[in-house]
Amino acid sequence: MRITICTDLLTARAAPQKPANRADIKLRRERLLYRMSLNASRTKQEARLCRTAKTGQLLIEAKRVEKSQLSTEEKTVELGRIAARSSAMEDEYKKYTSTRRYKSLPEGIPEVKKKNGRKVIYV
């Protein structure tokens, strides 16, 4: 939130924000969901698998756009959006890998054992 600077502190008010377009809202939501899935990972390998899955998903979308019947301009716009999403996901992954939480995670796949008929995951 931006604050308008005034000489009189009593008249300071928040500047109106322009409404976000739909693509921005979708990108924010996608980043949030990706960040949540990274935070839910129990090992570094799970975090890497999450990254690989998201990259594969975006690659499939790009290939679908390339094969579509859209005009060249529309394809360029769509591929630009996909590239922006890919860049945003890479930024989130880089931020996550620099956190203490990621550095404290174990490396491999968690070990799964059964105890009293229930699955118990040991990290």
Report the first-to-last Cα separation within the chain, whole angstroms.
Answer: 41
Q: Percentage of the chain with pLDDT > 70?
A: 72
With tokens 């839910």, the residue in question is: 40
Predicted TM-score (pTM) of this structure:
0.69
Contact 102, 48 (CB under 8 A): no
Distance, CA of 48 to CA of 91 (rounded, Å): 14
Structure-token pair, residue 82: 């996909």
Instruction: Give residue-wise pLDDT tens across range 11-64.
Output: 455 555 665 688 788 889 999 999 999 999 989 999 999 999 999 999 999 999
For residue 54, the tally of other CB atoms under 10 A from its CB is 21
